[in-house]
Structure 1
Amino acid sequence: MTRGNQREKAREKNLKKQQQNKKGNKNDGLSNLQRKEKDAEIMRQKQAAAAAKKK
């Protein structure tokens, strides 16, 4: 009956993995539009910093 034990262990491992994936949600309750705006602002800042460093 070791197979049953393997299945149970695999189920536990998968459940734990799914719970960790839910924790890693980066939206922080933002709508898609708000998230895109936030990401765009971050990219603008990075580009400005890279341009300043290049000069």
Structure 2
Amino acid sequence: MARGNQRDKAREKNQQKLAATKKGNGMSGSEQMREKDKVAAIMLAKQKAALEKKEADAQQSK
């Protein structure tokens, strides 16, 4: 029966560890919006660069 106690204690320890890592992010609403806007600007720049590259490749292949 000793193994059952060890198993329970290991399960409890693991649940405490997971609960500590699952805490929500510490950003406020305005910080989240700034981060979202920053990521959106980066993605728009990447899309624009990819489109320009695609158009340049199309011009060269003609």
TM-score (norm 1): 0.49
Greater relative contact order (CA < 8 Å, ≥ 6 in sequence): 1
Q: Which has the larger radius of gyration?
A: 2
TM-score (norm 2): 0.47
